[in-house]
Homo-oligomer: A and B are copies of this chain.
Amino acid sequence: MPDLQRVVQEIAEEMRARPDRGDVATYIPELAGADPASFGIAVVGADGEVAAAGDCDLPFSIQSVSKVFTLTLALGKVGDRLWRRVGREPSGSPFNSIVQLEAEQGIPRNPFINAGAIAVTDIILSGHQPREALGEIVRFMQFLADDASIFIDEAVAASEQRTGFRNRALANYMKSFGVLENPVDHTLGVYFHHCAIAMSCRQLAMAGRFLAHNGRNPESGLSVVSPERARRINAVMLTCGHYDGSGEFAYRVGLPGKSGVGGGILAIAPGRASIAVWSPGLDASGNSHLGRLALEALTQRLGWSVFGG
């Protein structure tokens, strides 16, 4: 895959040179110190080869990218019953909006806005202690990425525990409608911690492989989810993965993707590759500015958009 490595390298260089880098998220104090100059990219192809460039091995806070994996895990536990507690429509609202919850009886619009991801976390937690549930999530990430070194950044988790009032509002609000089963503090504890998982682009791209390959690890051949479920998770990523910037991401990049306020984006080119990019500066919708530009360049040069060559 020499071509792919060259394209990835070129894009990393172009991104480094750009003067516009977005603004680093400040609402989680611990993330505010990230270096806006950082940029990493990693692409894992169908044959298992990895093309990577820039800060591709630097761990960053994956934040909401973790929601793809908790959704996968929760679907594994309760199957389609999950959709009784969470919708799967784009919200047309910012990531932390509470308005939609009031109109829809506490049922979050989709699993990728904060409220929805908290409800998904609550499903994983049910029947377990918070520590167990969190262990399960981390081990699932390590298994998918084939890398036991993936860890939770406790300083980030603690920072959000102290300041996550809006998420606490969302969780209590859902609890008032009976949408959460567990004590709010337990559910939020697990949520804040899985958002604080630290991974490099390389690790994240590895973890996403099953979504690019019909639910299977393309090297080991092991099935993580059914092909249908992989397609459906990709569909939810495409319509809902970037909050109220989801339409824009589909329009420009043309791939299912999930962003996090840490500046990471996981994108899936079905049948082709799992891609992770990272740059901490965000655009107005809270998605990585350079990350999106890099993915736009990548799909354009390789003809990888799901919407046509």
Interface residues of A (CB under 8 A from B): 87-93, 97-103, 109-110, 165-166, 168-173, 175-176, 184, 211-214, 227-228, 230-232, 234-236, 238-240, 244-248, 250-251, 254, 256, 270-271, 300, 305-309
Contact = CB atoms under 8 A, between A and B. Distances in A.
Contacts of A256: 307
Contacts of A232: 251, 307
Contacts of A250: 235-236, 238-239
B88 A109 contact: no
Contacts of A239: 90, 238-239, 246-247, 250-251
A89 B305 contact: no
A141 B88 CA distance: 34
5 contacts: A172-B172, A213-B308, A232-B251, A270-B306, A306-B307
A170 B240 CA distance: 26
A231 B303 CA distance: 11
A271 B305 CA distance: 11
How many copies make up the complex?
A: 4
A169 B300 CA distance: 41
B89 A109 contact: no
Given A165-B176, A176-B165, A307-B234, A247 B240 contact: yes
A17 B247 CA distance: 37
Which of A89, A173, A228, A238 has the most chain B CB within a 10 Å cutoff?
A: A89
Contacts of A245: 89
- Which 6 residue pairs are nearest across A and B when measured between Cβ atoms? A92-B92, A90-B90, A165-B176, A89-B247, A169-B173, A306-B306
A35 to B, nearest CB: 27
Given A89-B90, A235-B305, 13 more contacts: A89-B244, A90-B92, A92-B100, A98-B98, A98-B99, A99-B102, A165-B172, A165-B184, A213-B308, A227-B308, A232-B307, A239-B247, A270-B307
Contact of A169 (B89, B172, B238): B172
